[in-house]
Chains A and B, each alone.
Chain A
Amino acid sequence: MKILVAIKPVPNPDEKVKIKGDGSGIVLDNIKMVVNPFCEIAVEEALRIREKQTGEVVIMTIGPKASEQQIRTGLAMGADRAVLVEAGTDLDSLAVGKVLAKVVEGEKPDLVLMGKQSVDDDNNQVGQILAAVLGWPQATFASKIEFAADNRKANVTREVDGGLETIEVTLPAVVTTDLRLNEPRYASLPGIMKAKKKEVKVIPLASLGVDTAPRVRVLSYAPPKQRAGGGRVADVPELVAKLKNEAKVL
């Protein structure tokens, strides 16, 4: 099975981010970029499928040249090769979906795996948009993926509000991964050295002829309000009263 995995470089979620003085974005100098954790889960799942069935795992990323560092992480985990569409970091979800669709059309995979959302903007929409642009079936929030013997169909268990739901999709399809699908492996040291020799094909964004004009405009970034200190309540009735009248959650 040929699997295309989309990965996105994001600022290290363990570091504190600062907002630029003019509110136009976050300060990225000195912030370490890492592979979006949900995308790492997608890479891991692709590798496990390849280990069971043979095939090829190809990584695709849209971003600046520096994204190669995160691509190498995926290659070091074991992916076979990668495609980088060289672009700025300013594309909105629709543009990303359309660009990814171009790559998919070129690569013709049996399956596209990607994170359900990226932990920087938390939009949770690129997978859905990509499936729509391609006209492919989609299964989002996957916590388990099983294939029919002929690889024409997959049963995907999805994490939904009420619990779990299993749906059947016809391949090729777009599947987005949730947290409990697997635990990604580490990139081993020999893997890191092997990744150095793997192919990363760089495609300039302009050469794809996709209209990436933004449909979404960011007006400004602001940090969440500082939380005020907590208060003590004397007894349960007072707590309930506060939850009802002040917090208005009851």
Chain B
Amino acid sequence: MGATTELTDYMGFQGLLTDEEKLVRATARQFVNEEVLPIIDHHAQNETFPAHLIRKMGELGFYGPTLPEKYGCAGLSNVAYGLLMYELERGDSGLRSLASVQGSLVMYPIFAYGSETQKAHWLPRMATGEAIGCFGLTEPDFGSNPAGMRTKAVPEAGGKWRINGSKMWITNGSVADVAVVWAKTDDGIRGFLVERGTPGFSAPQMKGKWSLRASVTSELILEDVVVDGERSLLPNVKGIKGPLGCLTQARYGIAWGALGAADACYQTALEYALNRIQFDKPIASYQLQQRKLAEMVTEITKGQLLALHLGRLKDQGKYTFAQVSMAKMNNVNVALQIARTARTMLGANGIMGEYPIMRHANNLESVYTYEGTHDMHLLIVGQEVTGISAFRG
């Protein structure tokens, strides 16, 4: 469904793209049509992870593509990266999550905060998908307020660190070769690279989700995990701005990605409405359904223009995290509403896996919550315009 048609582009925003940006999107679209759409419902229904796609996505350069060629990455514009996220999430939010976490939450902090040795060791292998990473910030008792975290790292003799604590809701956790673990130290919050197999470190998978079922979500358990400072500690950042800086990157990608899911739902509903006859006419001919379609395409279009403008600002280095909050908040919210509305238009068929809508709608519930809940982004924008924080003491 919606596989062979082109993406929705009511205002011709693609006319504002460079040739490279168009080609990146074409590659991603073709990949999703051929490799993802045929298998994704099966994986989501069975709560299994399409692990065979990890390397394929790496070969195509889908991980950390805005990072420099020097590290085996493509050196793309932020807009091209956004378009990649759009197409991946048109396939499934879980797959986009895999790429977001790998690129924005693992490769980015290694690139921005890591030593040259850490960069040279991890980035090229992560670009190809040979190594997979995860990002451990959230804890059972600290979600929206990560600065309150309990995970602690204490320096030891010989340049070592001892880490204790636990993380929860960690995407890619059980399949990761390395975890970026954020922990409190006497010197503020610091980031550590904790490798799979380190004694005391385990990452059991969390089962039973009704959302992002084709994505791995895990706990990270750290019991007296001892790591080598030089190898593990990210030297160039201290404080909560470290993890928040990563989240800004990922949220930007999500602002594009959510629209891809919305587009898949909208196109499916449009096609269905044109073909479904009730009371002797296609349901698309009834005003009630036209209103839904008109509102959906309007929100997708506004979201695209918002994301594109933000991407151009980001390419010029002129964006703020509060602008990223607005885009994440708005675009994920409209995507979720579009998915639910599209569901109604398919009647009973709307609940079936044969159509992608219910899967997207359920996935988007996670997207609405992770990377800062919708509420938290409202509070960030509220703080930006009033100068008063409603969430921090």
Contacts and interface: CB of A to CB of B under 8 A. Distances in A.
B237 interface: no
B19 A190 contact: no
B270 to A, nearest CB: 14
A66 to B, nearest CB: 10
Nearest to B3: A14
B74 interface: yes
A248 B97 CA distance: 57
B23 A15 contact: no
A18 interface: no
Interface string B45-65: 000000000000001111001
A69 interface: yes
B22 interface: yes
Nearest to B65: A189
Contact of B5 (A15, A69, A193): A15
A202 to B, nearest CB: 15
A187 B23 contact: yes
Interface stretch (B26-34, B148-156, B191-199): B26-34
A68 B76 CA distance: 19
B9 to A, nearest CB: 9
A193 B6 contact: no
A103 B86 CA distance: 40
B176 interface: no
Given A69-B19, A186-B60, A192 B27 contact: yes
A192 B73 contact: no
Contacts of A15: 5-6
A32 to B, nearest CB: 6
B4 A189 contact: no
A24 interface: no
Contacts of B5: 14-15
Interface string A193-217: 1011000000000000000000000
B264 interface: no
A187 B21 CA distance: 12
Nearest to B61: A189
A36 interface: no
A158 interface: no
Contact of A190 (B4, B26, B30, B73): B73
A186 B65 CA distance: 16
B224 interface: no
Interface string B78-105: 0010001000000000000000000000
Contacts of A93: none
A116 interface: no
Given A186-B31, A189-B62, A73 B4 contact: no
Nearest to A14: B4
Interface residues of B, number: 25
A170 interface: no
Contact of A192 (B4, B6, B20): B20
B69 interface: yes
B6 A190 contact: no
B59 A188 contact: yes
Residue of B4, B6, B22, B26 contacting most chain A CB atoms (<10 Å): B26
B20 A193 contact: yes
Contacts of B69: 190, 193
A72 B19 contact: yes
B239 interface: no
A230 B271 CA distance: 22
A76 interface: yes
Contact of A188 (B19, B20, B61, B75): B61
Interface in B5-25: 5-6, 19-20, 22-24
Contact of B23 (A12, A14, A76): A76
B61 to A, nearest CB: 3
Given A68-B19, A69-B19, A69-B22, A188 B4 contact: no
Interface of B: 4-6, 19-20, 22-24, 26-27, 30-31, 59-62, 65, 69, 72-76, 80, 84
Given A186-B31, A188-B59, A189-B62, 14 more contacts: A15-B5, A34-B26, A68-B19, A72-B19, A72-B20, A187-B27, A188-B60, A189-B27, A189-B76, A190-B74, A192-B20, A192-B23, A193-B74, A196-B20
10 contacts: A32-B6, A68-B19, A73-B26, A189-B60, A189-B65, A189-B74, A190-B74, A191-B61, A192-B20, A196-B19
Interface pairs A-B: 3 shortest CB-CB: A189-B61, A189-B74, A14-B4
